[in-house]
Amino acid sequence: MASAPPSAHSGSLRIGRVFGVELRVHFSWLIVFALVTWTLATGYFPAYHPDLPAASYWAKALVAALLLFLSILIHEMGHALVALRHGIAIRSITPFIFGGVAQLEKDAGDGDTEFKVAVIGPVVSLVLAALFYLGSAAGAPGSGARGIARYLALINLVLALFNLLPAFPLDGGRVLRGLLWRSYGKARATQVAAGAGTFFAYLLMAAGALRFFGGDGIGGMWYVLIGWFLKDASAGTYQRVRLDETLRGVTVADAMLTEPATLPPDISLAEAAREHFMRSGYGAYPVVRDGRPVGLLGLRDLLQHPPEERESVSVQAAMTPAGEQVVASPREPLLSAMAKMSRPGGGRLLVVDDGRLVGLLTRGSVLRQVRVREHLAS
C-alpha cells in the first residue's frame, strides 16, 4: 500500500476498473510472473506430482501464478475499500515486482484510520491462506487442484507475515505508525516507523549477502533487492511526510513568482524562441491576451516543431491551453498545487485570480520556499 500520488503509472498498463478503482499491472510483474511459473513448473509441481508430463506441470504453474496475481489484487483491494470508506480516494492498484501498491490520493488523517487501512491487507491475506488451506485439505490426495491450493495457502501466509513486519512502508510499518500517531504526532511516528523499516532493510540485505556467498545466488540477490527497496521506500516516504509538515498552511501565493515575463499568443514560435527563450533562458512562458492568461508555452512545446516550421506556427497553436491541469489559485494549498506539478509536463503552473494572471509557480520557486522554511525551522 502506498499514499504517494506520483509516478506509479510509469511502466504500468491499465487492465480495468473494480469498484471505481483503476487496476494496472507494472511491467516488473511480468518478470515475477515468469519466474513464479518457471519455478513451480520445474520444481514444486514435479516434486508434488511425479511422473506427470511436462505440459501438465506448466499448466498447473500457470494457474497458480494467475491465482497469486489475483491474491495480491484482493490484498490491495482490501486497503482500497477501507480507505474509500474513510473518504480517501484511490488512484489505482498496481501489482509490481515486490507485491502491490494501492495508490491513495492522500495520507490518512489520523492514526486510527491509518491503522485500519494498513491492517486490513494482512488480514485479507490470512483469510485467503485459510481458504486455500481448507481447499487443499478437501481436495483428493495428489490432485492438481490440491497442489495449487496448498501452494497458494503457503504463499498468502508468507505474504501476510512479511507485510506485518513493522518495517515502513510495509503494512506492519503503517500499523506501527498508526499506533504511535496519537502519542507522537504524524511526523515523529513516521520517523520511528521509517527507522524500523531501514533497520529491517539492512537486515534483509545482510541476510541476502550471507546467502549469496553461501552459494544461494538467486535467493541472496532477492533478499538484497527487497532490502534495497524497503530502505529507499522508507527514506522517501519519511522525506515526503517532512515536506508535508514543512509546507502545512503554505499557499501558492507564498511560493509563486510575481510579475512573470509573458508572451502574446499571435507571434510565431521562431520569434518566441529568438526573442524570449534564447535571451532569458526561461523554460516556459505564460501566454497572455488582454491581461488574461490563455495558455502556457514551454520549451518542450516549442521543440515539438522543427525549426523550419516555427515561422509559420503561432504561439497559440503550440501552447498548452489554460485548463485546470496548468492553473492554480493563489489561495490553493501549495501541496495541492505540487500534486498537479508532479504530472507529466506539469513543471509550471499559471497562478490565476479572478481571471487575471498574478504569478507563475515553478519547481525552483517551490524549492526555494522549502529551503527557507527548513532553515528557519532548524
Residues 274 and 230 in one domain: no
Strands 284-289 and 292-298: antiparallel
Q: How many CB atoms lie within 10 A of CB 45?
A: 24
Residue 275 located in a structural domain: yes
Radius of gyration of the chain from its Cα atoms, rounded to whole angstroms: 26
Please confirm, yes or no, whether 275 is among the known catalytic residues. no
pLDDT tens per residue across span 232-265 = 877 877 777 777 778 888 999 999 999 899 999 9
Is the pTM for the entire model greater than 0.85?
no
Residues 160 and 288 in one domain: no
- The CATH number that applies at residue 280 is 3.10.580.10
Residues 223 and 351 in one domain: no
Q: How far is CA 300 from CA 210, 269, 304, 319, 336, in A?
A: 48, 12, 6, 10, 24
Residues 199 and 306 in one domain: no
Cell of 137: 485439505
Residues 139 and 166 in one domain: yes
Whether the pLDDT of residue 5 is over 70: the answer is: no
Could you tell me the residue range of the domain that residue 369 belongs to? Answer: 252-377
Distance separating alpha carbons of residues 172 and 169, to the nearest angstrom: 8
The single residue of 76, 114, 245, 332 carrying the catalytic annotation is: 76
Query: Which pLDDT band holds residue 344 (cuts at 50, 70, 90)?
Result: low
Residue that finishes a domain, picked among 229, 246, 263: 246
Residue 1 located in a structural domain: no
Distance separating alpha carbons of residues 72 and 212, to the nearest angstrom: 28
The pLDDT, as a whole number, for residue 13 is 74
Question: Would you give the distance in Å from CA 29 to the centre of its chain?
Answer: 15
169 or 143, greater pLDDT: 169
Residues 94 and 215 in one domain: yes
Query: Which pLDDT band holds residue 132 (cuts at 50, 70, 90)?
Result: very high
Residue 331 located in a structural domain: yes
Residue 143 located in a structural domain: yes
Question: What's the domain count of the chain?
Answer: 2
Residue that finishes a domain, picked among 246, 275, 305: 246
Query: Which pLDDT band holds residue 10 (cuts at 50, 70, 90)?
Result: low
Residues 113 and 16 in one domain: yes
Whether the pLDDT of residue 8 is over 70: the answer is: no
pLDDT tens per residue across span 50-102 = 888 888 889 999 999 999 989 988 998 898 889 888 888 777 777 765 566 77
The pLDDT, as a whole number, for residue 1 is 59
375 or 359, greater pLDDT: 359
What does the DSSP 8-state code read for residue 1?
-
Q: How many CB atoms lie within 10 A of CB 330?
A: 18
